[in-house]
Amino acid sequence: MKAHTYETQSTITPEKALEFLKEGNQRFVNNLKANRDLLEQVNATREGQWPFAVVLSCIDSRTSAELIFDQGLGDIFSIRIAGNFVNQDILGSMEFGCNVAGSKLIVVLGHTKCGALKGGLDAAQIEGLGMDNLNHLINHFSPIIDQVIEENEERSSKNSSLLERLNQQNVRNAIEEIRKQSSTLKKLEEEGKIKIVGANYDVETGAVTWL
C-alpha cells in the first residue's frame, strides 16, 4: 500500500475516508496489516503530505491512531491530548489539516478506562497532589461530569458506568465545540467537504465503535 498523493487524496470523499478507518480497525482487530513499505512511504512523502483524515485522540499509550486504524506514513494527522478535548490550538491544527492540507474527515476518538477522565472524577484527590497544570487539565471535564452524573450517584473513577457515560459525552461535547468554535470547519462540513464524527476505542478488545 502506497502513501497518498495529491491526486489520490483529491478523489477521496468524507464517506470514503471514514470507510478507510473502519476497514483499518477491522484489520487491527483481526491482527492483519495492510502490506506497506514504510521506507518507500518515507521517500514518497518527503516533498509533501496528503493525509485523508484528522484524528483527535487521547495521549493514552494504548490509543495510537495509526496503529488502531492500520494507517501508514502520510495517511492521517494525529492530534493527541489527555482526554481528547479541543482548545484553540487544536482547532487551528484541525483547520490546517482540512482547509489547507485537504483532509476530508475529523474523528474525535475517546476510549474506555480513560485516565484523564478518571482524574476528572477524582479531582479532589488529584488536586491534593499539587500539580497545577494537571489540575487545570482535569477541570476541563467538570461541566461534562455535571451533565451526565445522576442525583446521589457516586462521583468516582471506580463508578464504571459513570466513567463510560462521561467518555461518550466528552466526545460529543468535543464535536459540538469544533462546530461552535471554528466557523471554518463548520462551513466545510455544511458544504459536504468534510465529516466530523465521534468514536470510542475499547482498550480491552481493540475495537472502535462509532457514535
Sign for the CA dihedral angle at 24, 29, 55, 167 comes to positive
* Long-range pairs for 11-17: beta carbons < 8 A, 24 or more residues apart: 12/52, 12/104, 13/104, 14/104, 14/105, 14/192, 14/193, 14/194, 14/195, 15/195, 16/104, 17/52, 17/53, 17/103, 17/104, 17/105, 17/195
Cell, residue 34: 495492510
Cβ-based neighbours of 116, under 8 Å, separated by 6 or more: 58, 82, 83, 137, 138, 141
Cα angle 195, 139, 57; round to 5: 30
Binding positions for Zn(2+) are 58, 60, 111, 114
Give the DSSP H or E segment for 56: strand 53-57
Annotated binding site: 58, 60, 111, 114
E strand intervals along 86-131: 105-111
Amino acid at 156: S
